[in-house]
């Protein structure tokens, strides 16, 4: 008998990752002990949350568990970075496994986003007098005097006493 989560590619991929983490964890001790323990917890969280999320019937619950699993995958990538910096994990091997983590993250994002379109409502941007409001200065030129009736004029700036690039017309 096969349960629903066992059919998911991301679940099977995450189990392979957890197996690799267990192998690596056997070589980590001493100063790397805390990173090892956190890595074991985070890696196991990926398939456990996938399984739990896949068992939920409410879309919001499913999405929440898949997002937690995705976050755990990102945490594992960060732990690998820490272990590379601490010279407890080879950079090439870490990069190879990060590709797997990225693949899992993409799959989990798609699972979490199922049925939830992302977008924004169209908005109308208007300029000018509307609904009794005073007219706004909507042109794109700089208006240093904050006077909507008088636009910034470079000629006037240069002819202004003491004019130059830092002068403001009166």
| Contact status, residue 119 vs residue 80, Cβ threshold 8 Å | no
Reported as type and span, the H/E element at residue 86 is none
Quote the CA–CA distance of 83 and 19 in Å, as a whole number.
17
Band (149; pLDDT cuts 50, 70, 90)? low
Just give the CATH number of 4-113: 1.20.1440.60
Instruction: Name which of 76, 86, 88, 67 is nearest 39 in CA terms.
Output: 76
Distances (CA, A) of 70 to 4, 46, 142: 19, 7, 46
> Is the Cβ–Cβ distance between 142 and 152 less than 8 Å?
yes
pTM of the predicted model, to two decimals? 0.64
Contact between 4 and 50 (Cβ < 8 Å): no
Domain boundaries, the chain: 4-113
More confident residue, 56 or 44: 44
CA–CA distance, 9 with 131 (Å, rounded to integer): 56
Q: If DSSP states are collapsed to H, E and C, what string results for 108-139?
A: HHHHHHCCCCCCCCCCCCCCCCCCCCCCCCCC
Percent of the chain with pLDDT over 70: 66
What the block records as the tokens of 167 is 């002068």
pLDDT, residue 111, reads 85
User: What confidence category does residue 127 fall into, taking pLDDT thresholds of 50, 70 and 90?
Assistant: low
């Amino acid at each position: 008998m096969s349960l629903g989560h066992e059919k998911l590619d991301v679940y099977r991929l995450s189990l392979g990752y957890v197996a690799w983490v267990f192998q690596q964890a056997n070589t980590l001790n001493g100063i790397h002990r805390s990173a090892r323990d956190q890595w074991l917890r985070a890696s196991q969280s990926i398939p456990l949350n996938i399984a739990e999320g896949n068992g939920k019937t409410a879309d919001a619950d499913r999405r929440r568990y898949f997002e937690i699993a995705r976050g755990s995958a990102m945490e594992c990538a960060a732990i690998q970075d820490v272990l590379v910096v601490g010279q407890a994990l080879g950079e090439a091997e870490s990069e190879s496994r990060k590709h797997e983590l990225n693949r899992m993250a993409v799959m989990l994002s798609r699972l979490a986003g199922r049925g939830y379109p992302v977008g924004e409502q169209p908005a109308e941007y208007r300029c000018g007098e509307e609904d009794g409001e005073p007219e706004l200065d909507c042109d794109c030129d700089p208006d240093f005097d904050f006077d909507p009736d008088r636009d910034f004029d470079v000629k006037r700036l240069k002819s202004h006493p003491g004019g130059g690039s830092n002068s403001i017309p009166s």
